[in-house]
A and B are shown apart, each in its own frame.
Chain A
Amino acid sequence: MNSQPIPDSDAHVRLDRVEMAYGNRPVLRGVSCAFPTGAISVVLGGSGSGKSTILKLIGGLLRAQAGRVLVGQRDITSLKESQLYQVRRRLGMMFQNGALLDSLSVLENLAFPLREHSHLSREEIQARVHERLFAVGLQDVDDLMPRELSGGMVKRVALARALMQDPEILLVDEPFSGLDPLSTKLIEALLVRINRTLGMTMIVVSHHIPSTMRMADHVVLLLPGCVVQGVPSTLRDSEDVRVRRFLTEDTDTSDQILAHTQDFEAGEHKPQRRGGA
């Protein structure tokens, strides 16, 4: 593998020769990669290359068949489910489709982790929720239900929810998929700002190459049969043609076309108020 190794001490999360298969279909074959502390790492790869699978392995939602997954200095592959819950308290995850609890309002969704794990009062929780909503650029959405949100809003609420407990590691799955170019830019700026102000380790999974290459401090490239990692500039000038071809592929345009059609279908971008008032 022609990638620069990251010293153990700098890696916040590390995959070590991880094998992962669904049934008897292998998805990750001996994947090793590292995610440096405090930096924005980006996992790039085609659809179905196993990007979401990597995030789920880090969150302990899936168990690798072989290899080690280190979060902090701890190998989580051998942990019991009850121990995993301890590890997850330090993680925040933004799911591709938000995974918001659809029976709860936006306010209740964001308050949920604090209600479960903190002793803060109702007022303190509400203040924290508004703080986080403001940080992702949302206001007056407290009483909306998840189904009343547009795609871009769902992403931002999901991001706010992942941030509620000040995670040390933020896992972000496809923050740009299904968004129009403006929302894409907004989310990109948001992620960078959050990383610079809160300083957590960020692992962003995406197939949107321009945005991710702009924000990345560290890139992990999932190519068929191998993994390449490094800083964006060296990867762009990589001697490996597959790497260069992957990074210069014109996915941006097709993504934009896709995003536009989806936006059309979704109709008006503004959320509709409940009760019609």
Chain B
Amino acid sequence: MGGGVGGGVGQDVADTRKRLTVTVNGRQCSLMVEPNRTLLEFLREDLGLTGAREACDTGGCGACTVLVDGRPVYSCLVLAVDCQGKDVLTIEGLAVDGRLHPLQQAFIDHGAVQCGFCTPGMILTAKALLDENPAPTDEEVREAIAGNICRCTGYVKIIEAIRAAGGTGKPACT
């Protein structure tokens, strides 16, 4: 065996990069990227937006969820070059001028965060849900976030927080 993986930097290969123009968190950026870069790698490594997390790397956990044209996607399974002309929202783009999005505030107030590794993906998934369905039921929230694994919370407080942000939940306890 050997040589099958197809080279890293050490290898002498022609420049295969493509120009990618994409709007990220409302700002347009235009960069040369390798086609074998995933959207997740592009965001984390080229743009320094590390809020999208990598956990399973193969579409099974949702930690890498970002919104592309408003739709939640696993950014670990999307090529960066495939986002040409698209609008990407990451967790860093959610708070405006230091003011938290209601979902972010609800996650804080309801104790929906523990280790926090799933949190950005959860919040963005919830945002896509609330944008379409501002007052979801418990079951609708579960359906929507079922593609995001959380290992810490048992989902109870996450669901509470999302429903509260949607105006259909209980107020946070104090």
Q: Do A and B bind each other?
A: no
Residues of B within 8 A of A (CB): none
- Partner-B contacts on A (CB < 8 A): none
